[in-house]
Amino acid sequence: MFSSSVNPPEGRRDVDEHPADSPRAQEEAAGMSGFLDGKVVAITGAGGGIGRAVALAAAAEGARVVVADIGVGLAGEDPKSEVAEALVAEIEAGGGEAVAVGESVTTLAGGERIVAAGVERWGSIDGVVAIAGILRERMLFNMSEDEWDAVVETHLKGHFTVFRAASAVMRKQAGGGSLVAFTSGAFAGSVAQANYAAAKGGIVSLVRSAAAGLHRYGVTANAVAPVARTRMSANVPMDLAEMGDPEDVAPLVVYLLSDRARHVTGQVYTAVGPKIAVWNQPREVRAVYADGRWTPEAIAERLDSTVGQERMPLLDQLEAYRKAAEEKAAAAGSA
């Protein structure tokens, strides 16, 4: 249920639910919303965590689901297809339709085969959700080339391969389609995950580029930055102020895949517990001009008092963590 308030806090917009006697409300009460009836949706990383929750939610809303997962460990090791096949069996047992694909998203051929599985089985591809990911945590000065490449390849290239294959089909079919990416608040910066943060930042730019380039074809592109209890979030190197479950994220993805979201594109949404938030679009904040060409001296004299900086919230957060740790240590020492 949505909550509503007379005077919502600044920056917050609450939405009233549909009147109880409206057709929409009656359909929802009867469990007949069918947000994705007849749509074919491919989901990478669908074998567990958020991917699994999204696949189950999409199937429950009438989608035919391509379950793409090679079942690797957190660092990308030990691939196996059993997780995808098990989820397909679960969806089919519930009366849904699904097909398993054990392909890696790190190659164009793999992305094409994932999309082709839906087209060949059901005749179209209406949505793609890219969730597959791995972690290789290391401080920047200790990170190896392989640790960088593996994470960027799986996250960023893994989005490109399926988005490229799907958009080639969507631009030619009636109704277009929906591309849903998975980024993270880490795209704003991370202490010990420079590879992951860089990949997630690249995904945001990919989504905005896809939204701009595919808008004329009726294809939308959006990103979700989830905060949920998964094996990946368990390895985040700091406490998270907010935490939800994979099932909290799935409804937003279902909405973005649906015809009700045809007007939504180029957006990044946070989904955590009961909260949905939208991120700002990057733009210049303020400017200063020189008479002629700038010199380093002139910049040093004028920058701080004119355009200044946009403070990184992460730096303040890290400072707060440091102070809290010192206070905790001092209290323990005096006990």
Question: At 204, which CATH number?
Answer: 3.40.50.720
Q: Is residue 29 part of a domain?
A: no
Judge whether 56 lies within some domain.
yes
Whether 268 and 326 share a structural domain: no
Q: Is 121 in the same domain as 155?
A: yes
- Comparing 49-58, 134-143, 325-334, the range with the smallest average pLDDT is 325-334
Residues 326, 232 share a domain: no
Instruction: Give the pLDDT band of residue 243 (cuts 50, 70, 90).
Output: low
pLDDT digit string (tens) for 44-67? 999 999 999 999 999 999 999 999
Whole-angstrom Cα distance, residue 300 to residue 332?
A: 45
Whether 76 is in a domain gets the answer yes
Q: Which of 241, 237, 240 is nearest to 197 (CA)?
A: 237
At 267, list the tokens: 């957006």
Q: Which residue has the higher pLDDT, 14 or 166?
A: 166
- Whether the pLDDT of residue 37 is over 80: the answer is yes
- Residue at 288 is within a domain: no
Decide if 27 is inside a domain: no
Calculate mean pLDDT across residues 198-219: 97
**Residue 146 and residue 228 in one domain:** yes
* Domain membership flag for residue 6: no
When divided into structural domains, the chain yields a total of 2
Active site residue 328: no
Q: Which pLDDT score, from 0 to 100, does residue 68 have?
A: 96
pLDDT, position 39: 98
Are residues 38 and 136 both part of a single domain?
Answer: yes
Domain co-membership, 171 together with 315: no
Instruction: State both tokens at 291.
Output: 């008479």
Phi and psi at 41, nearest 5°, equal -130, 130
Q: In this predicted structure, what is the pLDDT of residue 333?
A: 79
Residues 309 and 252 in one domain: no
Catalytic residue among 39, 167, 200, 258: 200
Per annotation, catalytic residue among 167, 184, 190, 258 = 184
**Do 274 and 245 reside in the same domain of the chain?**
yes
Q: Indicate if 200 and 160 belong to the same structural domain.
A: yes
Same-domain check for residues 316 and 249: no
320 belongs to a structural domain: yes
Q: Please indicate whether residue 196 is annotated as part of the active site.
A: yes
Asked whether residue 183 falls in the same domain as residue 95, the answer is yes
Among 104, 157, 167, 196, the one annotated catalytic: 196
Expressed in percent and rounded to 5, the helix, strand and coil fractions of the chain are 45, 15, 40
* Spatial distance between the Cα atoms of 48 and 80, rounded to a whole number of angstroms: 13
For the chain, give the mean pLDDT: 86
Q: Is residue 271 domain-shared with residue 301, that is, in the same domain?
A: no
Please indicate, yes or no, if residue 24 is contained in any of the structural domains. Answer: no
Active-site annotation holds for 80: no
Which residues partner with 40 through β-bridges? 64
- What pTM value is reported for the model? 0.83
Beta bridge partners of 220: 178
DSSP designation for 65:
E
Q: Where in the sequence is the domain holding 317, given as residue range(s)?
A: 296-334
